[in-house]
Amino acid sequence: MNGRETAKIRLDGVGKRFRAKGDGETALSRVDLEIAAGELICLVGPSGCGKTTLINLLAGFERPSEGILEIDGRAVTGPDPDHIMIFQDYGLFPWKTVLNNVLFGLRARGVPKAEAREKALDALELVGLRVAADRHPHELSGGMKQRVAIARALAVEPSVLFMDEPFAALDAFTRIHLQDELLRIWKEKRTTIVFVTHDLDEAIYLGQRVVLMAPYPGRIQRILHIRLPEPRERTGEDFARIRRELFEEFHLVHKQAQDVSEYSI
Amino acid sequence: MPTLREIFLPLSGFLIFILAWHGVAALGLYSDYLFPPPLAVAQGIVELLRGGELWDYTRTSLLRFAAGYGAAVFVAVPLGLLLGRCTLLWHALDPLIQILRPVSPIAWFPLVSLWFGIGNLPAVVIIFIAAFYPVLLSTVAAVRNVSAVYLKVAANFGASRRDVLWNVIVPAAFPQIAVGLHIAIGAAWIFLVAGEMLGVRSGLGYLIIDSRNNLRTDLVMVGIVLIGLLGLVIDRLVSFGEKWVKRQWEMP
C-alpha cells in the first residue's frame, strides 16, 4: 500500500550536514522513506539520531544537503500551511487569547472573519477547549496549551501534521490522555501524522509504523509495522512483546552511540 | 497592612526629611541664601504661583520634553524594528552606535547650539539625544529576542511579512520595548534641565539657572522640587500607559 504512486511523503537518499568548523557534522545520512496518505508514523531514537533534523526538513524549516524530499509529488522548498508543525513548547502567542491563537492561521490564509471564527470554534470543540476560548495561554495547563496548538493546526485543515515531541514536557497522566485524544482526532480526520518522540511506549501506542533511528550519523536503523488490534492495550501481551523487541534494538543503538561518542571525545 | 506601607510610611519619610531640613536650617549655621529652609521654598512656590511663572515654566518644560521624547520614540522604534530584523544592517551600524551611545548629550552642547541656534530647538534636541539610544537599543534587543518558535509558527501558517511584523514581532517584542521606553523617560527627563540651560529664557531648567544668577537659592530649590515631582508623575503615567497598551494587546 506504500507504493510510489500513493506515497504522500517520499524521501530518497536524504542527507543533512550542518556547517561546522573543519568538516561539517553529518546530522542525517541517506534516509529513504515513504509515508502513505493518512498514515500515523512515529520516529523514535536516542538524541543525536537526527529525528528532529528529519522533521525540520519535512516541515521545510531546513533544506536537505542531498537527496529528494517530496510531499504530494512536489519538492519541499519551505514551510507550507498545508503541513503544520506542532512544537514541544507549543508556540502559542501569549498576548493572544486561545480563540485568537486559533484564528491566527485562518486569518493568515485570508479566511473571512465570520467563517474563520466558526472554524476556530469548531477546532476548539474538537479538542474540548471551546469553553477556554477567551482565556490566555498563561491561564492554561501544559496539556491544555498543547491541545490549543493542535486546534490551531487542525483549524486550517492541513493534510499533514508534523509533531516534534509534542507531549514530552507533560506529566505521565496528561500524556496518556493526549495520546488517546490524538488517536481519536486522527481517526476522525485521517490526517497524515509524522510524530517524533524519544518514548518507545508512545511510539508503539500511536504508530502504525515505528521508525527506529540511530545516531552518528543519523540514519534509519529499522522500520517496524505495529499490527496490534485497536484500541491498543498498553498493558497487553503483544504490546509488551513489541516493546521488548524494540527496546533491545534501541538499547543496542544507544550503546553504539555511547561508544562512538566516547571514542570521538 | 497595605495602607501603612503605601501611605503612612512614605508620608512619614517625607515628614522626617522636611523636619530634619528645617532643623538644620534653624541651627543658623548657614545663612538662608546658602541653605534655604523649607518654609522659604514654600513661600517661593507661592510667589511663583502668583506671578504665573510656575505654570508657564512647567508647561513650557513639559512641551519641550514631549517634543524631544516623542520625536526620539518616533524615530528610534521603527529604526529599532528595522535593525532588529536586518541582521546585516545591524552588524554594520552596531559599532557606530556603541561609540555614540556613551557620549553624554551635554557633550553635544556646542554643536547643538551652533546648528540649532537659540529657542526651543536646542533643548528639544538634547532631550531627543538622551531618549534616543535607550529606546533604539531596547527595541533592537527586543526584536532579536523574539522566540524563534513564534517566527516558525508564523512562517508555517504562511503569514505575510506585514502580519509577521504587526501580529507577531511587535507584540512579542513589546514588553521589552516598553522597558526601554520607561528607561528613556528617566534619562531624558534628567537632561531636561541641562537642555534648558542653553539658549532659552523659560522652563524649569532656566528657572534654576536664572535663580542662581539672582542668588535666589530658595527658587533653585523650588525648581529642583518641581522637576522631581513632575518626573515622578510622568513615570507613573508611563506605567499606566504601558498597562493600557498591554491590555489592548491582550497580554497578561
- Best of A56, A95, A146, A157 to disrupt the B interface by mutation (most B CBs within 10 Å)? A95
* Res. B243 pLDDT band, cuts 50 70 90: confident
> Looking at per-residue confidence, does A177 or B5 come out higher?
A177
Find the distance separating the first CA and the last CA of chain B, reported in whole Å.
26
Inter-chain touch A84–B157, beta carbons under 8 Å: yes
Cell 506585514 -> residue: B162
Q: Which ipTM did the prediction report?
A: 0.88
In the prediction, which pLDDT does A265 show? Answer: 45
In chain B, which residues have their Cβ closer than 8 Å to the Cβ of A87? 149, 152-153
Sorted by sequence, the CB contacts under 8 Å of residue A166 that are 6+ apart come out as: A86, A87, A88, A146, A149, A150, A178, A195
Cβ contact A87–B152 (<8 Å): yes
Residues in A closer than 8 angstroms to B249, CB to CB, are: 95
Chain A residues near residue B160 by CB distance under 8 angstroms: 108
Q: Is the pLDDT of residue B249 over 70?
A: no
Instruction: Tell me what pLDDT residue A1 has.
Output: 46
Which band of pLDDT confidence, cut at 50, 70 and 90, is reported for residue B80?
very high
* Domains of chain B as residue ranges with CATH: 37-248 (1.10.3720.10)
Mean pLDDT calculated for residue range A69-98: 93
Cα–Cα distance for residue pair B215/B222, rounded to 1 Å: 13
* Cell, residue A167: 507531549
Interchain pair A108, B163: CB under 8 A = yes
Distance separating alpha carbons of residues B36 and B18, to the nearest angstrom: 12
- State residue B175's pLDDT score: 86
C-alpha distance from B169 to closest chain A C-alpha (Å): 11
Across all residues in chain A, what is the average pLDDT? Answer: 88
Among B150, B171, B251, the residue with its CB nearest the CB of A91 is B150
> Across the interface, do B250 and A105 touch by the CB < 8 Å criterion?
no
Closest Cα to residue B194, out of B97, B116, B69, B104? B104
| pLDDT tens digits for range B125-136 | 999 999 999 999
Choose among A161, A141, A140, A159: nearest CA to A150: A161
* B182 contacts B139 by C-beta, under 8 angstroms: no
What are the tens digits of pLDDT across the range B197-231?
877 888 998 999 899 888 888 899 999 999 999 99
Are A60 and A80 within 8 A, CB to CB?
yes
CB-count exposure of residue B41 (10 Å: 0-12, 13-18, 19+): buried
State whether B149 and A136 contact (CB < 8 Å).
Answer: no
